[in-house]
Structure formats: structure tokens, C-alpha cells
Amino acid sequence: MAENRGLLDLTALEQAVFDDSIDTVIVAFTDHYGRLHGKRFDASFFLEHTVPSGTHGCDYLLTVDMEMNPVEGYRFANWELGYGDFHLVPDLETLRVATWLPGTALILCDVHADSDDTPVPVAPRSILRNQISRLAARGLTAKAASELEYYIYEESYREAAENGFHDLSSIAWYSEDYHLLQGGREEFYNRAVRRHLRDSGIPVESSKGEFGRGQHELNIQYTDVLEMADRHTIMKLLMKDLADQLGISVTFMAKPETDQAGSSCHIHLSLWSESEPAFPGDIEVGRIRCSDTFRHFLGGWIDHVQDVMPFYGPTVNSYKRYQVASWAPTNIAWSYDNRTAGFRVVGSGPSLRIECRIPGADVNPYLAYAAALASGIDGIERKAEPPEILTGDGYAARDIASVPTSLTRAITSFRESGFGRAAFGDEVFEHYAHFFSVEIADFERAVTDWERVRYFDRI
């Protein structure tokens, strides 16, 4: 075993294969939605062939919609190019036991071009790696944490689908924010999630009931930003797999129910120079005394929210979450320990950090963290200053930029600002502008339940 519980090195995996405690290795990568795709390998074959040579996957997987249909209009892969392969290169640092699956280990991959084995620019992990490299060129590293919220329902995924996802039974019947009695009724699931995360190399802090009925939040320990994006992605797969095994369902939709709170993914970020925090600061009355790096990074992050908003709110549903007095921000402001602001500064001294409350639980963490780093790096380069600190109710604040109210508006800002193209390069910018536009087009063609209820016999 590697030093961290649940993580494996090759020697430990070889021993587990010899003992027959592991017979399968999942080799996985993420698509645009943050979903894991890949293959299941015989563990002995993985050690002998996949470790030295990697494996291959069809490049159409970075051009599909939610239903796995190939979408036209991408330059990266299309029918004219024949949908060839890309090379999946296992990252041995991510090898771990997948304790929620019998006899299974899991490893994440970087996606490389099959022709010259260079990273595929449009792959989500490549995009984040590129921003980490830009930060490293300035002598800085980033540490991060994702706070994921989710709803639990009594129906299985299959039952929910067969019922058209209508009239689902929440695991709870009243608001359970910090409520230990109601939370205890859901421990059969949440405790199992915490245990499997811990035993699969993802250290856990805590879980708690949230504001909505059957809504919970689970926090895993902060770490380097790439590892956090990996943990976030594995955590979602684990939670869905485990729900499936237990005959229930969980959702990471940003707004699954009209009359309930949305589910967020608050992301925490801090920068480090070697082993020292680059964000240290203290709180004074009405102000924060902090490093220039902190101030300029925050200024850049705030400046570019609208420019990269699709990376924080990737779906049509994402924007239903931004409602007044809903615990989701509506204005792009910052404050200290104020949950009405889009940016909540927390901690003090060496633990001073920025919590961005804008992303929803439907976010792809690689893209969200890449957007945050690109924005902050630009702020450092320009010596951007954040706006005046917000005090009081952020929902009631005036003359402050607003979070976009739809994916259509977000993608318009993304296309028109020029920042996304400069920060991520032409290929990535064009690829994702097309991806989000397809999501909008699919929605605009769809007839919704809201329309049927409103218009069926009343118009």
C-alpha cells in the first residue's frame, strides 16, 4: 500500500493481484460533463500491458451529448475524420482501491493524441493541467476543496427513469440543515459513502444535512488542485454507484426541484509559494489585510466571472439555482464570511482563502478550477484590484454585476469577451463554445413539463 489509505503503488497492486483480492482495474477519463468513461481491465493484463503502453478510446467521446450521440460541428473529431482513437495514459498517482466495487482498483488517465502522444488540448484534465503550468511558471501552486451538495431519493435510478423522474420520494420530509435526527435516518447511505471514500484514498472531513428536503453536503479534505478535481470526479461516481447498489438515487442537478434549494459546489482556493501560503492575511474592522497576491488573484477572479461563466454553470438547469434569498448568489460581490456574496473570504492568517459560491453541483471540476486559475492569473499579471468589500445583504445590493440568468446569456458573454480565447487558446475556446451552444439548442427544441401543465387545456 502507498502511504495514504486506499492508494496503491504498482508493488501493492501486484501483491493484491497475486492474493486475488483485486482482479479488475478501471481505466477512466472525464468527458465534458465531468462523467467518467473508460474500460475495465483484467488486473494482470493491466499490469503487463496497460501500465507501460496505456490504452485507447474513441475520440468521439469528446464530442458527444448527454445521450452519447456524436455531435457535428467539432473540428477535433467528426465523421469526415472517421472518429479515430486517442491514447489514454494512466496517471499512476491516481491508482487506488475502489472499495465500493468488489475486487476492483481504479486509475485516471490523461488523454493524448494517438498521432504524436501530446496532450489533447480540449480534454478537461489537459485544460486544468495547462493552467497549473501557467501558475507554476510564476512560482506558485494551488490548493483547493470542493463542497458538493446532492439530493437523495427513495426510488432507484431505473424506477425514477421509468416514471419520467416525476413525483420522486425525497428521503426526508422536512428541511434538515444541520439536523441530526433527520440526518441519522440517511446514515445508511451517507456513512457508507464516507467509509468508501476514506478507504479508496479520498480523505473525508464531514457530511451534514442541507437546507432542502433530503439534501446533503459532503466535504472531502483539501489538496493540490488537480488531485482535488480527481477526488471530486471519483466521489460522484462512487456515490452514484453506491446509490444504485442500495436501490436509491442521488442527483447532482443544480436545481432538481422548483420549490427546494439548489445544490451547489462551493470551491475553495488558496495559492502557495513552495511550502508557504501566498494568501496570508488578517481581518480588521471593515477590511482584510492580505498579500498583494491574494488581492490581485481575487480581483481577477471576480473580473472574469461572466467571461467564463459556462465553466461554472454548464447546463440550462444551472441557472435556475440563482434566486434571491436561496443561498445561491445572484450578484458578483465579495465579502468576509457572508453567504450572500458570490465570493466569501474565509479563514485568517495562513488559512485565509477564497470560497467561490457560484458553481453548482453539476459543474465539471476540471473546467471550474481551470477557469478560476486562469482568471486569477490574469488578475496577478494585471495587478487587478477587487471592488469594495460588500457588507450586509448581497441580494439587496445595487450597482453590482449580476450572475448571468441563463446559459444563453453566459455563452454570449463567453464568446464576446475574448478572455476565454486568450486564456485557453483558440482550439479549446471554439470547442467549448460549440459544446455549450449545442446544449442550448437541444433545450430550445424540447417540450417541457412546465409547458404542458401551463398550456395543454388553457390556451
Lowest-pLDDT range, 143-147, 271-275, 367-371? 271-275
Select the more confidently predicted residue: 314 or 351. Answer: 314
Which CATH code for domain 10-122? 3.10.20.70
Q: Give tens-digit pLDDT for 63-89.
A: 999 999 999 999 999 999 999 999 999
Q: Domain limits of the chain?
A: 10-122, 135-454
- Report how far apart, in Å, the C-alpha atoms of 293 and of each of 127, 299, 342 are: 23, 10, 20
Residue 1: pLDDT band (50, 70, 90) is very low
Residue 303 has pLDDT above 80, yes or no: yes
Supply the pTM of this predicted model: 0.96
The answer to whether the beta carbons of residues 196 and 100 sit under 8 Å apart is: yes
- Domains 10-122 and 135-454 fall in the same CATH topology: no
What is the model's pLDDT at position 391? 87
Question: In whole angstroms, how far apart are CA 153 and each of 165, 192, 318, 456?
Answer: 11, 16, 20, 29
Residue-wise pLDDT for 161-196, tens only, equals 999 999 999 999 998 899 999 899 999 999 999 999
Fold of 135-454: Creatine Kinase; Chain A, domain 2 (3.30.590)
Distance CA 459, CA 455 (A): 5
How far apart are the C-alpha atoms of 149 and 363, rounded to whole Å? 11
